[in-house]
Amino acid sequence: MVNEPFREKVAIVTGGASGIGAALCEELALRGAVVVVADLDGEAAEAEAAMLRGRSQLARGARVDVRNSGEVADLAAAVQAEFGSLDFMFNNAGILSVGEIRDLDPDRWRNVIEINLFGAINGAHAAYPIMLRQKSGHIVNVASLAGLISSPLYAPYAASKAAVVAMSSALRREAAGFGVHVSVVCPGTVHTPIFDRSDLANVPRSAVFKNSPLGRISPQQAAMAILSGVLRNKEFIVFPLLARIMWLAHRVAPNSLDALHRRVLLRFRKERLS
C-alpha cells in the first residue's frame, strides 16, 4: 500500500547506494516517491536506481561528492528543474574512523569532518533555498547516537555528528516560520557497510564489532524508523529503544554510562596492534 504523504514527492538521498541510504531509497520508492540516489560511487548509484526502475518506480542515479558544495547544489537545482520540486533532502552520506585519539592524525579528523559534517552542511545549503521558495520541504540530516552521547574510540565521528545535531537544531528553528521542516536522525548501531569500510587506527577490524556495546539493527528497520519520524516531524529521531534509553539516561545523569565506556575501552586496548 502506498503511503500518501510520500506519493509523488521528490527526494534526494546522499550515500544512497548502500546501507541506510539504499534502504531509504527503496522504502521511499515503495511509498510512491520520486527518488534520486546520490552517491560518490556513481555506478552503484545508477545500479540502485535501475533496480528501483525495474520495479516500475521512478528513480534516478547521480554521482555526487558531498564534500563539494557546488556539486551538491547543482544536483539539487537539476532535480528541482526536472521534477518541479524538491520535497525531501536526506543528508545521509558518512564515514567512520575508529581508534584512540593518540593514534589519530589531523588528516583522519579532516576527512571525517569534511564528509560527515560538511556533507550535511552542503546538502542543507543546496536544498534550503529551493524549499524556501516552495514554502515547503523537509531536510533530514543523518547523525548518530554518538552525536548525542560522546564515546571513546569514535572521537572524530562523534564530534562530526554532534555538530550535525547542533546545526540541525538551529536550522529547524530558523526554518519553522517558512514551512520547511528539519529533523536529525540519531540511530544506534545499524548493520551497514560503514563498519567494513571504516578507517581503523592501530586496531584490528574484528575488535570494532566485538566491542560494540549495542546490538545492530538492519538498514531496513532503520529506514522505516526514519520515515516514521519524518512523517511526525520529529526533531530528534532516535532508535532503537535501547538507544533512546541510553540517551535518556545520559541526559538525566551524564556520568551514568561511564562504566560501560570504561569496559569497552579496556577490551579494545587489549587488541591494540602496537
Residue whose C-alpha is closest to residue 61's, from 71, 53, 49: 49
Closest CA to 209 of 142, 269, 272, 268: 268
Helix, strand, or coil (residue 37): strand
- Tell me the three cell numbers of residue 58: 521512478
C-alpha cell at 160: 562530526
Q: Is 128 a catalytic residue?
A: no
Can you read off the three cell numbers belonging to residue 198? 571504516
Asked if residues 257 and 250 have their Cβ atoms less than 8 Å apart, the reply is yes
Question: Which cell goes with 243?
Answer: 538507544
Cα distance from N-terminal residue to C-terminal residue, the chain: 55
Which residue is catalytic, options 90, 118, 157, 236? 157
C-alpha separations of 96 from 12, 196, 246 in Å: 22, 10, 21
Mind telling me the catalytic residues? Answer: 157
